[in-house]
Amino acid sequence: MTRGNPRLSSAAEPMRFAYWVPAVSTGYLASRIEQRFGWDLDYNVELAEIAEAAGFEYGLTATRFVSTFLDEGQHEAVALSQFILARTRRIKIISAVLTGLWHPAVMAKIGATSDVLSGGRFAINIVSGWDKAQFAAMGQPWLDHDERYRRSEEFIEILKGCWTGEPFTHHGDHFQIDGFQMRPKPLQAPHPPIFQGGSSTAARRMAGRHSDWYLTNGGSPADIAPQIAEVQAHAAAADRTVRFGVNAFAIAHERREQALATYDEIIRLADWDAVQRFADATREAGRNTSDGVGNWAKSSLADFVQGNDGFKTGLIGTPEHIARRIMALKQVGVGLILLGFLHFKEDIEFFGRRVIPLVRALEGEQPLVETEPPAPEQAKA
């Protein structure tokens, strides 16, 4: 990417919306509250079609290899992404990849094939690793925090080299490649979008140097703005531009009291044993960095009920409140909202029908106009 003003670019472009693909058997909340979702292929294809119609551009498939604190079963992210791409026409799928468990040249080949066969709809999310159990189960070494990010930097360098150069050679600390030639190349130019997770100092440095999108855990505009400024500084030094996304868990209702009551019920029915195991596992992530900066570094126990600090983004309330909150995030440079939901099909449809049009109206500096209200029985749900 060429250098530019990311904040001006984000302000000029429409906000993008993505959703977490249901890839695990237990949902994305550590709570005993009812969660209506499915993790089979047919459900995910139908959900993708609903999301397309609702105005979502992306779905993101999380990477899990073994059960840990919550998820009893999990699909492999790349395989599930490919199946969804094969049965849809417009939605773009971001596949999470744990860099310590894949060879980057193999992933470059898989990604190129996925991009070609899907008509240019594949993207990748680089995960450096926060859950030690995933590596221990595979007999792989558990590197210290910053070294995991240095490995991911090499991983991205190789992805880009394989996707854009020919032949490609790389001799690094973690990966070796000699004269690798790959055909066909991806359809997207210069390559499929590269997203990354993490918000530590090492993650911010990596984003500025290498990634197209920096995806951070949930937070307020005041929380996110300093991260964006730091990544922008790294990107400017490398003559690059980076885009920014934030995690959120949306609870949208016509009445604010309904939304808040749903949140209260999620917390009241939390599986506190699972929540504590999750909190303990994150000590290997941002909470374990030397400067105390990173994912979950300042999270309360209630924040861990949703895995990516989604409650902290504040998308809980009426459609009008949520739309204005999204615009506040956009004003500090956020260009994508990655959303989790309690009842995926119903909530994505509602979000697309009631929230996204309000965001578009605000983006166009049009007055907020009430859309058609729900039927009385829907308002009571």
The predicted-structure confidence for 302-327, as pLDDT tens digits, reads as follows 998 998 899 999 999 999 999 999 99
Confidence of residue 69 (pLDDT cuts 50, 70, 90): low
- Check pLDDT > 80 for residue 379: no
Structural domains in the chain, CATH included, are 6-379 (3.20.20.30)
Name the range with the highest mean pLDDT among 26-35, 292-301, 344-353. Answer: 344-353
Mean pLDDT of the chain: 89
Tallying the residues shown for the chain, one arrives at 381
Determine the Cα–Cα distance for residues 307 and 30; give it in Å rounded to an integer: 8
The predicted-structure confidence for 222-273, as pLDDT tens digits, reads as follows 999 999 999 999 999 999 999 999 999 999 999 999 999 999 999 999 999 9
The predicted-structure confidence for 174-217, as pLDDT tens digits, reads as follows 999 999 999 999 999 999 999 998 888 999 999 999 999 999 99
Residues above pLDDT 70, as percent of the chain? 88
Mean pLDDT of 129-140: 82
Confidence of residue 369 (pLDDT cuts 50, 70, 90): very low
Confidence of residue 298 (pLDDT cuts 50, 70, 90): confident
pLDDT of 289 reads: 64
